[in-house]
C-alpha cells in the first residue's frame, strides 16, 4: 500500500493555516482593539506584547500558500483567480500594519496618530478580507476544464461579508484574551470587560454560520446530517458550548492564561467544523484533494523539504515565545 501524499500534504496545509489563524489572529486582534484603548501608554504596551513575534507568526501563511501551490496547483490557481481582489486587499492591509509596527515607535509625538490609524486600518482590512475569502471558498468555486469559470466579483455575497465580520469578532477575542494574559492593571481590567462582550458576539457568529453553512449547498447538509457523519460531528457543538462556558467562567474569575487557551479551543473547533463541511474537497463543492494534486514525484520531493523546515519553524517559534514570556509593563518592550 503506497503513501497517500495528497492526504499528507492536505494535513500539512491545514496545520499551517491553523497555526497562522491562531498566531497572527491575536496580533491582528490587537490592532482591532486599538480604538477601545485611547491612552498612549496603553497602546504602547499593547503593541509591545506582540512586537517581538508578529512577523514570525506570518511564516505560517507563507508555508500554507507555498505548500498549496506546490502540492495542489489546481486549487492554488482556482482560489487565487476567484479571490484575487480580496487577497490583494488583505496583503495591502498586512503591509500597512507591518509598516505601522516599526514607524509608530519612531514617529514624532504629533505624527504617531497617523501610524495608529494605519495599524488599525491595516488590521481591519487584513482580517475582514481573510474572512471574506474564507466565505467565498466555503460557498464553492465553479471549475470548467481545470480553470476557474466564475466572475471577478463572485466572492461578494451576503455569506462572505458575514464571515468577514465574524472573523473580526474572532480575532478581536483572541487579541483581548492575549492582553489579559500579557498585561496587568487597568489595561487588563479593560480587556476583561471587552472579552466578556466578545465571547457572546462570537457565539452568535458561530450559531449563525452553523445554520447558514448547510443551507449553502445540499452536499454540505448531507455531510453534516447523514449517518454516521452526524455522530462524528455531534461532539463539535457540545465542545463549543463547554468551551464557551469555561471561557466565560475564567473571565469572571479573572484567570490569567485560561481565557486565551479557551479562545484557542473555540477557534480550533470552528476551524474543524468548517473542515468537516468541505472534506475531502479542496475546491468546493466537488474537486477532491486527489483530483487537484500535483504529480507524486513533485509532492514527494517537496515533502522532504517540508519535513526539514517545519521542525525549524516550530523550534524558533517556541523559543521566541519562551524568551518573551511573562507580563509586560509600560516602558518595557522589544523596541
The pLDDT-based confidence of 262 (bands split at 50, 70, 90) is very high
The span from the CA of 294 to the CA of 314, in Å, is 26
End-to-end CA distance of the chain: 54
Cell of 19: 497555526
288 membership: H or E segment, kind and range: strand 287-288
Q: Which residues contact 122 (CB under 8 A, 6 or more apart)?
A: 31, 92, 93, 94, 95, 96, 97, 98, 99, 100
Mean pLDDT value across the chain: 87
Cβ atoms of 52 and 324 closer than 8 Å? yes
pLDDT at 335: 54
What helix, strand, coil percent values describe the chain, rounded to 5? 80, 5, 20
Q: What percent of the chain has pLDDT over 90?
A: 42
Burial of 290 (0-12, 13-18, 19+ CB in 10 A): middle
- What is the reported pLDDT for 333? 59
Q: Provide the pLDDT confidence category of residue 104 given band limits of 50, 70 and 90.
A: confident
Alpha-carbon dihedral 249, 252, 254, 255, rounded to 10 degrees: 0
pLDDT at 185 over 90: no
Whether the ω angle into residue 285 lies within 30 degrees of 0, i.e. cis, is yes
Q: Is the pLDDT of residue 40 over 60?
A: yes
And the C-alpha cell for 5? 501524499
Return the pLDDT at 331. 61
Sequence-ordered alpha helix ranges (H) in 83-184:
84-106, 112-139, 158-182
Which percentage of the chain shows pLDDT scores above 70?
97
pLDDT value at position 180?
94
Cβ burial of 71 (10 Å; 0-12, 13-18, 19+) is buried
Query: What is the biggest distance separating any 2 CA atoms in the chain, rounded to whole angstroms?
Result: 67
The predicted pLDDT at position 146 comes to 83
From the list 165, 206, 166, 198, the residue with the least C-alpha distance to 179 is 198
For 69, counting Cβ atoms within 10 Å of its Cβ (0-12 exposed, 13-18 middle, 19+ buried), the class is middle
Task: Flag whether pLDDT at 228 surpasses 80.
Answer: no
Sign for the pseudo-dihedral over CA of 87, 89, 91, 97:
negative
Amino acid at each position: 500500500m503506497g503513501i497517500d501524499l495528497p492526504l499528507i500534504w492536505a494535513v500539512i496545509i491545514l496545520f499551517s493555516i491553523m497555526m497562522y489563524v491562531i498566531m497572527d489572529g491575536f496580533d491582528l486582534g490587537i490592532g482591532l482593539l486599538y480604538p477601545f484603548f485611547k491612552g498612549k501608554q496603553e497602546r504602547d504596551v499593547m503593541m509591545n506584547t506582540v512586537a517581538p513575534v508578529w512577523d514570525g507568526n506570518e511564516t505560517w501563511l507563507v508555508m500554507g500558500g507555498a505548500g498549496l501551490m506546490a502540492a495542489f496547483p489546481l486549487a492554488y490557481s482556482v482560489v487565487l483567480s476567484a479571490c484575487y481582489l480580496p487577497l490583494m486587499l488583505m496583503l495591502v492591509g498586512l503591509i500597512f500594519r507591518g509598516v505601522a509596527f516599526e514607524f509608530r515607535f519612531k514617529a514624532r509625538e504629533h505624527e504617531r496618530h497617523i501610524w495608529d490609524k494605519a495599524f488599525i486600518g491595516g488590521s481591519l482590512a487584513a482580517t475582514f478580507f481573510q474572512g471574506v475569502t474564507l466565505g467565498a471558498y466555503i460557498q464553492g468555486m465553479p471549475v470548467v476544464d481545470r480553470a476557474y469559470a466564475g466572475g471577478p466579483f463572485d466572492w461578494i455575497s451576503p455569506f462572505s461579508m458575514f464571515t468577514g465580520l465574524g472573523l473580526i469578532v474572532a480575532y478581536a477575542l483572541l487579541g483581548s484574551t492575549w492582553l489579559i494574559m500579557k498585561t496587568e492593571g487597568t489595561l487588563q481590567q479593560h480587556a476583561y470587560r471587552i472579552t466578556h462582550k466578545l465571547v457572546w458576539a462570537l457565539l452568535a457568529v458561530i450559531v449563525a454560520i452553523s445554520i447558514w453553512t448547510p443551507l449553502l449547498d445540499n452536499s454540505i447538509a448531507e455531510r453534516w446530517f447523514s449517518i454516521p457523519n452526524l455522530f462524528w460531528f455531534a461532539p463539535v457543538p457540545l465542545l463549543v458550548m463547554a468551551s464557551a462556558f469555561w471561557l466565560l467562567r475564567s473571565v469572571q474569575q479573572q484567570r490569567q492564561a485560561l481565557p486565551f487557551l479557551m479562545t484557542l479551543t473555540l477557534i480550533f473547533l470552528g476551524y474543524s467544523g468548517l473542515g468537516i463541511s468541505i472534506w475531502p474537497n479542496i475546491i468546493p463543492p466537488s474537486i477532491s484533494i486527489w483530483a487537484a494534486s500535483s504529480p507524486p514525484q513533485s509532492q514527494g520531493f517537496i515533502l522532504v523539504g517540508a519535513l526539514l523546515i517545519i521542525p525549524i519553524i516550530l523550534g524558533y517559534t517556541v523559543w521566541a515565545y519562551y524568551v518573551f514570556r511573562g507580563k509586560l509593563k509600560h516602558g518595557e518592550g522589544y523596541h
